Amino acid sequence: MNRASLEKRPDEVATMFDDVAPKYDVVNDVLSMGQTRRWRRIVVDAMDVKVGQKVLDLAAGTGTSSEPYADAGVDVVACDFSLGMLKVGKRRRPDIDFIAGDATNLPFADNSFDASTISFGLRNVVEPRKALEEMLRVTKPGGRLVIAEFSHPVVPLWRNLYTEYLMRALPAIATKVSSNPDAYVYLAESIRAWPDQDHLAQWLSDAGWTDITYRNLSGGIVAVHRAQKPDEHRESVPVAKLRRQIKPRHQAG
């Protein structure tokens, strides 16, 4: 058995991802029934970055979340602390800049990136609120943050069906397709223990991000949060207004 506990000790988390790295992307496609590709396209649209801009893709793993930026001529840095995941990524995409680094203590100077993003990574970080502060530090004033993370379906019937899938079907399928099925039991447990959409929006606000909105995908299985680093030359959004802004936008998805 090689899985992290819900304490998310960094050594356990990194070892678990080292272990699943070779089949990580294939297993993802199977377990999400192909949905990850659609979710990733929505994240890239939300980032809205331009050719030549510099983007941090934190907890980038094998770089699958970084690829669309590189393909579009954006200068993307893929950062992760699992050397196993980085190695698979570098072999597949030698043109992408893969850098080993811890989300809670990033190896980058202040204001280094035009925008930052983290896909399906924040939930695995031992101190996610610290990671939100670190991403704020390394992003330029006025720069954007986009987070994609598993979340909580908003409609009760859909939530119940999805919980059944997570706790029963997903571990059973993982036994067939993954070399480390226990890692996918961790996946299911960590998704259930993760804060909901509004809670994560509040963490973003506490960390100093402004203009926070989120969008539910697949009925809330995934939430994409968007935020901005305050810019001294731009009027900031008052806190009372901010609270209204972080109300869910129930878009189809």
Helices (H), the chain: 10-20, 24-31, 35-47, 67-71, 83-92, 128-138, 156-164, 170-177, 181-193, 197-207, 239-245
Among 59, 188, 201, 246, binds ligand SAM (CB under 6 A): 59
Nearer to ligand SAM, 120 or 194 (CB): 120
Is 119 flagged in the annotation as binding? yes
Among 44, 70, 85, 217, binds ligand SAM (CB under 6 A): 85
Is 29 flagged in the annotation as binding? no
- Write b or e for each residue in 48-80: b if 16 or more Cβ atoms lie within 10 A of its Cβ, otherwise e: ebeeebbbbbbbbbbbbbbbbbbeeebbbbbbb
106 binds ligand SAM (CB under 6 A): no
- Touching ligand SAM, residues 5-24 (CB under 6 A): 10, 13-14, 17
228 binds ligand SAM (CB under 6 A): no
Nearer to ligand SAM, 17 or 210 (CB): 17
Among 60, 166, 212, 223, binds ligand SAM (CB under 6 A): 60
Is 207 flagged in the annotation as binding? no
139 binds ligand SAM (CB under 6 A): no
| Sheet with 54-58, side-by-side order of all strands | 97-100, 75-80, 54-58, 113-119, 139-150, 222-228, 210-217
Is 80 flagged in the annotation as binding? yes
Q: CA triplet 51, 48, 153: central angle to 5 degrees?
A: 145
Task: Report the C-alpha gap between 199 and 116 in whole angstroms.
Answer: 20
Residues 184-223, mask of contacts with ligand SAM (x by CB under 6 A): ----------------------------------------
134 binds ligand SAM (CB under 6 A): no
Q: How far is the CB of 238 from ligand SAM (least distance, A)?
A: 33
Q: What are the C-alpha distances in Å from 64 to residues 25, 85, 86, 104, 121?
A: 8, 10, 11, 22, 12
Q: Name the segment binding ligand SAM (CB under 6 A); options: 99-107, 135-143, 150-158, 206-214.
A: 99-107
List, in sequence order, every residue forming a beta bridge with 100; answer none if it has no partner: 80
132 binds ligand SAM (CB under 6 A): no
178 binds ligand SAM (CB under 6 A): no
| Token pair 């983290």 in the structure block, residue | 118
Q: How far is the CB of 236 from ligand SAM (least distance, A)?
A: 29
Answer positive or negative: Cα dihedral of 56, 124, 64, 249. Answer: negative
Task: Report the C-alpha gap between 181 and 160 in whole angstroms.
Answer: 23
The annotation places the binding site at: 62, 80, 102-103, 119
**Which stretches of the chain bind ligand SAM, using CB under 6 A?**
10, 13-14, 17, 59-61, 64-65, 80-82, 85, 102-104, 119-121, 124-125
